[in-house]
């Protein structure tokens, strides 16, 4: 999978050199590139924002630098999924992660300030070669789309075959098909600061262990923990 992030802070994506994603990149399972939006400006100040029409606080990112940056990607790659990060987008979830994990090239438009001129999404939505997704990562506001893009990249890439060492761990974990949260887990020692591991997990009775885990997962999802 190809992933391109467009941002005025391309350095924000350096954690993608680490851990599982770093390894997947070295194996070319993922080809990641971040590009600087300011490289697509034409004025001396490399401006990317201006005041909002209709008034109000803050600044809005101008459409043209985004248009130039996205067109430069489309010149090299005929078909993309364009993800516009915005707190007004549809809420990201595991189902969306699964849907995006089949894409060939994900392009993340990471806005700052009060967001990107709305015509950018409209323009590319009308193009056959572009699927536009406006996505939020939750009901809160962060300073820009970069951390939201990192969340989505991590959730999506771990679903690509070969990225996770043990694919069985994908089945049992939280927010699987059933939607139940994962059961609590423990490792050695059996007693830590007077707290004991539940007896059933030490019993060796796999039927009872499975039953206990299902009940705990159900209890946790009901509690919303
Ligand atoms: Cl995608 N961007 C920003 N700035 N804040 C958010 C968000 C995105 N999703 C939730 N809050």
Asked whether the beta carbons of 151 and 136 are under 8 A apart, the reply is: no
Of 221, 211, 212, the closest CA to residue 182 belongs to: 221
Rounded Cα gap, residues 205 and 16, in angstroms: 41
- Whole-angstrom CA distances from 225 to 77, 94, 195 are 43, 17, 20
Asked whether the beta carbons of 225 and 181 are under 8 A apart, the reply is: yes
Rounded Cα gap, residues 79 and 59, in angstroms: 31
pLDDT tens string for the chain (225 positions)?
999 999 999 999 999 999 999 999 999 999 999 999 999 999 999 999 999 999 999 999 999 999 999 999 999 998 999 999 999 999 999 999 999 999 999 999 999 888 999 999 999 999 999 999 999 999 999 999 999 999 999 999 999 999 998 777 777 675 565 556 799 999 999 999 999 999 999 999 999 999 999 999 999 988 876
- Tell me the CA–centroid distance for residue 130 and ligand 1, in Å: 22
Q: CB of 149 closer than 6 A to ligand 1?
A: no
Residue with the two structure tokens 């707190």: 87
Q: CB of 138 closer than 6 A to ligand 1?
A: yes
Confidence at residue 165, expressed as pLDDT on a 0 to 100 scale: 81
């Amino acid at each position: 999978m190809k992933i391109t992030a467009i941002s005025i802070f391309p350095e924000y994506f350096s954690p993608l050199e680490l851990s599982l994603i770093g390894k997947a990149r070295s194996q070319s399972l993922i080809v990641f590139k971040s590009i600087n939006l300011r490289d697509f400006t034409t004025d001396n100040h490399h401006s990317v924002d201006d005041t909002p029409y209709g008034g109000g606080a803050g600044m809005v990112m101008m459409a043209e630098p985004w248009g130039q940056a996205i067109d430069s990607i489309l010149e090299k790659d005929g078909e993309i999924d364009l993800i516009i990060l915005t707190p007004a987008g549809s809420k990201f979830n595991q189902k969306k992660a699964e849907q995006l994990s089949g894409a060939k090239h994900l392009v993340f438009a990471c806005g700052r300030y009060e967001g990107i001129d709305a015509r950018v999404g409209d323009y590319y939505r009308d193009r056959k070669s572009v699927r536009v997704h406006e996505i939020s990562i939750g009901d809160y506001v962060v300073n820009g789309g970069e951390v939201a893009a990192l969340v989505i990249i991590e959730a999506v890439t771990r679903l690509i075959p070969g990225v996770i060492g043990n694919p069985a761990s994908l089945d049992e974990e939280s927010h699987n098909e059933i939607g139940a949260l994962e059961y609590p887990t423990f490792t050695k020692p059996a007693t830590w600061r007077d707290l004991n591991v539940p007896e059933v997990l030490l019993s060796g009775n796999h039927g009872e262990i499975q039953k206990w885990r299902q009940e705990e997962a159900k209890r946790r999802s009901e509690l919303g923990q």
